[in-house]
Amino acid sequence: MEAVHIKVYPSDEGQIENLKAVMKAFKIKFKVVEEKPYDPEFVKKILKSREDSKQGKSVSIPLEDLWK
């Protein structure tokens, strides 16, 4: 069978442990992966860059000039 991804959003460590127990009881292979959000400073820079671009505060480089 093909892999299927199911995202769950437990609110505390107890729920995580309960979910693990259920998966084990049903003999379902699983892996716990923590998603890490983007660094807030990085997000701030990207949003500022987008805003600067909207206001015409950016520089455009023609594609053919990239390889010179």
Measured CA to CA, the distance from residue 31 to residue 5 in angstroms comes to 10
Is the pLDDT reported for residue 45 higher than 80?
yes
pLDDT of residue 1: 77
pLDDT of residue 61: 86
Domain spans in the chain, listed from the N-terminal domain onward: 13-60
- Please report the sign of the dihedral spanned by the C-alpha atoms of residue 30, residue 34, residue 37, residue 39: negative
Summarize pLDDT for 3-44 with one digit per residue, the tens.
889 999 999 999 999 999 999 999 999 999 888 888 999 999
pLDDT of residue 54: 93
Is the pLDDT reported for residue 68 higher than 80?
no
